[in-house]
Amino acid sequence: MTWRTHFMGGIVSLWLLPLGTPYWSVALAIVFASIGSLLPDLDARESKLSNVQVGGITPLKPAAYALNRRLGHRGPMHSLLGLFFVAVIFGIPLGLFLDPLAGIGLVLGYLSHLLLDACTKSGIPLYWPKPGKIHLLPSGFRVVTGSWQEDLVFLLLTFAATGFLLGQLFTSSNRISNDSTTSPFITQYQSTIHQSS
């Protein structure tokens, strides 16, 4: 699948979030699900994520080049092992130090990428390093990347993502509270304000 389909798939994966989640947490979940949805393709030299520029440089380009040279595209980054690595190294720290839904969003976005690529003709090496590709669809229904089939998947995901965003918009709590879904930074900010007043 192309980056735009994965991007929408990452947002759609957030349908698993409960309605009424505070805006701050929803926004962070969207940002990190979007990043997570593109992360497995970091092993492709020309992936969208590897070409993101910051201050005129592409900081992830060397990592993408090294991963591609060492592991190839659709190797361990497209496996349960890759998902586990990202969850432990990035997802858990994000959840602990930024917001629980930031870490959950990253992992859900990553998982959505694997699920979508498992619907393609190429499949994914889900159980890497064990050889073999996994396909979620029967051979006649597998999606060809860049085809009209993928365009249809993209359109359906766009509608689903819009539904998610509207559902969260009309049910999310806009107040900042001290519950477990509030960012630790906001909680610290609130306690600092209360102490100084």
Phi, psi of 183 (to 5 degrees): -60, 140
* Stated pTM of the model: 0.84
**DSSP 8-state assignment for residue 28:** H
In this predicted model, which residue has the larger pLDDT, 184 or 76?
A: 76
CA atoms of 135 and 126, how far apart (whole Å): 9
**Identity of the residue numbered 12:** V
Of the candidate ranges 7-11, 82-86, 135-139, 184-188, the one whose mean pLDDT is the lowest: 184-188
Residue 19: per-residue pLDDT: 77
What per-residue confidence (pLDDT) applies to 144?
95
Please tell me the predicted confidence (pLDDT) of residue 194. Answer: 56
First vs last C-alpha separation in the chain: 53
Inter-residue contact 122 to 112 (CB < 8 Å) = no
Given this model, what pLDDT does residue 157 score? Answer: 97
Q: 111 versus 24: which is more confidently predicted?
A: 111
Residue 57: φ, ψ to 5°: -115, 160
Mean pLDDT on 29-43: 94
Distance CA 63, CA 20 (A): 38
For residue 186, pLDDT beyond 90: no
Mean pLDDT, range 79-90, rounded to an integer: 96
pLDDT score for 175: 46
